[in-house]
Amino acid sequence: MRREATAEPITVWQADGFQLRTYDAGTDDDGREVLRYVLHDLRWRDEAGQFGRKLFKGGDFKPSPLLAIDSDEAIGALLGFLSLGEGDTDSEYFDHYTDRQIAWRDSERREELALWAMRLEEGASDE
């Protein structure tokens, strides 16, 4: 049975200048939970000198069926996906990245987000 999406965020995770909003996108045809998401890095300055512009927006993340979609572990899994760098996956993965996303991927901020992802996936508090 397919469940419909909601318009309000189900989580707003913030730490160290990062902000991730997730939205319940309902379920897919197989009954898997789907999340929409928007990630901002408020401390990273892009090539135009602007801070805080949206880095990633998507509607296709499916957390493990063993996790609640609003759990720290699910947020950590999503952040892990968004903080992949060169060598973490096939190079083709980045073919659709914008120049701005590639610049962020190659920055220290991506590595900092990856550390937050690991903490959350391990169930550590972000306080």
Cα distance between residue 77 and residue 86, in whole Å = 18
15: its two tokens? 């730490």
Kindly state whether residue 45 falls inside one of the protein's structural domains.
yes
Kindly state whether residue 88 falls inside one of the protein's structural domains.
yes
Cα distance between residue 118 and residue 55, in whole Å = 20
Say which DSSP state 6 is in: -
5: its two tokens? 């999406």
Average pLDDT over residues 66-92: 95
Q: Which domain holds residue 50?
A: 9-119
DSSP states of 86-109 as a string? BTTB-GGGGTT--HHHHHHHTSHH
Kindly state whether residue 23 falls inside one of the protein's structural domains.
yes
Residue 126 has pLDDT above 80, yes or no: no
pLDDT digits (tens, 9 = 90+) for 14-29: 999 999 999 999 999 9
Q: What is the identity of the amino acid at 29?
A: D
Torsion of CA 104, 64, 126, 108, to 10 degrees: -20
Residue 115 has pLDDT above 90, yes or no: yes
Kindly state whether residue 124 falls inside one of the protein's structural domains.
no
Cα distance between residue 9 and residue 16, in whole Å = 20
Kindly state whether residue 3 falls inside one of the protein's structural domains.
no
pLDDT top residue among 40 and 50: 40
102: its two tokens? 């590639």
Instruction: Report pLDDT for 124.
Output: 54
Kindly state whether residue 1 falls inside one of the protein's structural domains.
no
Kindly state whether residue 74 falls inside one of the protein's structural domains.
yes
Kindly state whether residue 54 falls inside one of the protein's structural domains.
yes
Residue 105 has pLDDT above 80, yes or no: yes
pLDDT digits (tens, 9 = 90+) for 43-67: 998 888 888 889 999 999 999 999 9
| Prediction pTM value | 0.88
Q: How many domains does the chain have?
A: 1
- Residue 7: pLDDT band by 50, 70, 90 thresholds? confident
